[in-house]
């Protein structure tokens, strides 16, 4: 299972980000000329959970602009990356670019390299992410994405040091990490659950990202609210799904939503902790008045 995939690109565009168009090319953000904005104003408009990383990113962007340096931020989820891009664009205009790379084209978690326009080549950007291969015999004790992540964080490193994790079944997993973490984890990571493992860095060309498992769901609903489409897509009662929403388990386009009445549109992506991810592919008025024909795609 991959920690998420290219077909979600439409939601990334809606959230203000877009996926790289090929594995050989890191994402490049061009910024139109604009008058710089006050940093405090930008922080007030950023999502509360992103304000610390946005503040640090802006400080780095200003340093890059003034000193002609190049700086790379640790792994960010799509929501945080969107906030960082907007903030850097608002403060530095077209003097500074944000380029993001996560190890492969459809990676969800990516590192953001901040640099003066045209001052860094693509090879340097791709080199900010390394592939750590974690191998062991999981034939009789299958491990999940959560198991691998838990074992890695158990070595004492922080979540932002780890990118996507591509689970490869009974063989183990490939983990996207920063260069320094690849070296550290090659000795610090010795087991996942009850299985002894060997961790070593491999060339990115050896990475094989499997196609995601998807389920297309067609449903007729009385509304396009989160609680209606979420319960249909995740195949659970509305009351049970609402409980997940109110517990903070649900995000829409990588932003936490705690109200079931939140209205969804085509292109939105809904994630529910432990249940996978749901893309709203299309919504059309149904033949029956007051109903909506909804095309949903669940990633498991």
Alpha-carbon gap, residue 74 to 53, rounded angstroms: 10
Q: Closest by alpha carbon to 8, among 285, 278, 289?
A: 278
Length of the chain: 300
Residue 272 pairs with which residues in a beta bridge?
A: 250, 276
Please give the structure tokens belonging to residue 69. Answer: 């340096």
Please name the residue that has the structure tokens 């034939």. 139
Compute φ and ψ for 256, nearest 5 degrees: -65, 135
Average pLDDT, the chain: 85
Global pTM value:
0.73
Task: Give long-range contacts, CB 8 A cutoff, 24+ apart: 95-99.
Answer: 95/65, 96/31, 96/61, 96/64, 96/65, 97/28, 97/29, 97/30, 97/31, 98/29, 98/61, 99/26, 99/27, 99/28, 99/29, 99/125
Q: pLDDT below 70 — which residues of the chain?
A: 1-38
For the chain, the helix, strand and coil percentages under 3-state DSSP, each to the nearest 5: 35, 30, 35
pLDDT at 36: 52
């Amino acid at each position: 299972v991959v920690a998420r995939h290219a077909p979600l690109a439409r939601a990334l565009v809606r959230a203000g980000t877009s996926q790289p168009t090929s594995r050989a090319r890191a994402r490049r953000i061009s910024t139109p000329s604009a008058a710089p904005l006050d940093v405090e104003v930008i922080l007030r408009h950023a999502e509360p959970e992103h304000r610390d990383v946005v503040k640090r990113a802006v400080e780095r962007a200003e340093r890059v602009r003034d000193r002609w340096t190049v700086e790379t931020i640790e792994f960010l989820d799509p929501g945080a990356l969107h906030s960082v891009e907007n903030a850097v664009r608002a403060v530095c205009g077209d003097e500074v670019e944000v380029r993001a790379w996560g190890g492969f084209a459809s990676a969800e978690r990516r590192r953001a390299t901040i640099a003066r326009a045209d001052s860094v080549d693509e090879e340097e950007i791709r080199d900010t992410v390394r592939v750590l291969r974690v191998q062991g015999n999981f034939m009789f004790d299958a491990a999940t994405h959560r198991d691998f992540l838990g074992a890695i964080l158990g070595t004492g490193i922080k979540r932002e040091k780890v990118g996507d994790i591509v689970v490869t079944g009974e063989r183990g997993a490939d983990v996207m990490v920063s260069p320094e973490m690849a070296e550290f984890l090659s000795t610090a990571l010795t087991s996942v659950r009850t299985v002894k493992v060997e961790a070593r860095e491999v060339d990115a060309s050896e990475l094989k990202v499997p196609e995601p498992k998807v389920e297309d769901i067609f449903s007729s609903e009385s509304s396009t609210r989160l609680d209606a489409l979420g319960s249909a897509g995740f195949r659970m009662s509305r009351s049970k799904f609402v409980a997940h929403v109110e517990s903070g388990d649900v995000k829409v386009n990588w932003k936490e939503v705690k109200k079931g009445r939140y209205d969804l549109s085509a292109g939105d992506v809904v994630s529910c902790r432990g249940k996978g991810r749901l893309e709203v592919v299309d919504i059309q008025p149904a033949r029956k008045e007051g109903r909506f024909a909804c095309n949903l795609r669940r990633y498991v």
